[in-house]
Amino acid sequence: MQTQSENRCYGGTQGVYSHSSEATGTEMTFGLYLPPDAADGPVPLLWFLSGLTCTHENAMTKAGAQALASEAGIAVCFPDTSPRGDDVADDDAFDLGKGAGFYVNATEEPWHPHYQMWDYVAEELPALLAKEFPIDPDRQAISGHSMGGHGALTLAMGLPGRFRSVSAFAPICNPTESDWGTKQFGAYLGPDRLSWAKHDATMMMRETGLDAPLLIDTGTDDQFADLLKTEALAHAIAERRQEAQIRLQKGYDHSYFFISTFMPDHVAFHAEALWS
C-alpha cells in the first residue's frame, strides 16, 4: 500500500491510498477519513459507495461527511467504482466499463479479468483496512449513492451480519427491470437472468430481507427517477415488513447538493447503530 496524500481534516486525517489488488488485477485507489478518536484505538467504519462515472474522489470532496464523522468518532471509506488502467476493458458509454463496475463479479469477456468489484469491496479492501488502520471490523455500516446505493443494499443483504446499519441516496433499486441494470448485467454476467437476482435489491428484499435498519432518501425531482425504480423496493419492504425509512425529499435532484443536504441525517443514523 502506498500513501498518495494525507491532509489534516476536522482534527483527523483524510488520506488517499493505492495498492495492488488481487481481486481486480490492477492498482486500486481509495480514500479513508480517520477521525481524531482513531489516535486512541480502533473506530467504527462507514463505507460510502459512489455512483456512475465517479472515482473515490467525488464523495470524498463533495458529500461533506468528514466534519460529521469527526464529531461522531467514525471512519469513512470511499472506494473507487471500478478497476482502472490501460489494459482494463472499457466502453464508450458512461454507464458501462470504467466508472461503472456495479459492484458485481463479472463472468463474461472482456470484463471478467478485472471487473471483480464485489470481491474487492466485500473482502479484499475490508481486510486491508483492518490490517493497516485502526478500524474495528465488528462495527461497520454502509451507504452509497445511485449505483453505489445499489451496491450498499445488495452487499448488505448478501453479507448478513456484516453491517449494523444501511442507507442509500437515490439508489438503483430494481436493476433487473431498469436500463441501469439490464444493460450492465447482460454485459458483466451474461444472458442468464437468474444470475442477476443476487444483485437486485428489490428481489433480494423479497427473498431474504435485511438484518439491519435501513434509511433511503430520494429526491422528488430526481432526473433519473424512472431508472431508480424506488417504488418497487418500497413495495418489497412493505410486503416483508422490513424495518426501514424511505423518504421522498421535495424538490431535490440526483446531485451532490442533494447528498450533502441529507448527509447529517445519514451519519447520525449510522453513528447511533455503530455506537449502540
Residue 267 C-alpha from the chain's centroid = 14
Cβ neighbours for 198, distance < 8 A, ≥ 6 positions apart: 154, 158, 204
| Domain residue limits at 160 | 2-275
Q: Which of 56, 114, 150, 254 is the catalytic position? A: 254
Q: Using one digit for the tens of pLDDT, what is the confidence trace for 18-64? A: 999 999 999 999 999 999 999 999 999 999 999 999 999 999 999 99
Q: Are 133 and 31 within 8 A, CB to CB?
A: no
Q: What is the pLDDT of residue 179?
A: 96
Q: Please give the helix or strand (H or E) that residue 235 lies within, else none.
A: helix 230-240
Q: What is the pLDDT of residue 275?
A: 96
Alpha carbon distance 156, 168 (integer Å): 11
How many structural domains are present in the chain?
1
Active site residue 114: no
Q: Helix, strand or coil for residue 13?
A: strand
Q: What is the pLDDT of residue 260?
A: 98
Q: Using one digit for the tens of pLDDT, what is the confidence trace for 159-170? A: 999 999 999 999
DSSP per residue, 27-67: EEEEEEEE-GGGGGS-EEEEEEE--TT--THHHHHHS-HHH
Q: Please give the helix or strand (H or E) that residue 118 lies within, else none.
A: helix 117-119
* Closest residue by Cα to residue 234 from 217, 212, 211, 252: 217
Burial call 204-236: b when 16+ CB within 10 Å, e when fewer? bbbeebbbbbbbbbbbeebebbebbbbebbbeb
Cβ neighbours for 206, distance < 8 A, ≥ 6 positions apart: 236, 239, 240
Q: What is the CATH number of the domain that holds 93?
A: 3.40.50.1820
Mean pLDDT for each consecutive 10-residue tract of the chain (276 residues)? 98 98 98 98 98 98 98 98 97 97 98 98 98 98 98 98 98 98 98 96 97 98 98 98 97 98 98 96
Side-chain-side CA neighbours of 224 within 13 Å: the count stands at: 20
Active site residue 146: yes
Q: Which of 146, 165, 167, 178 is the catalytic position? A: 146
Q: Which of 37, 222, 266, 270 is the catalytic position? A: 222
Q: What is the pLDDT of residue 25?
A: 98
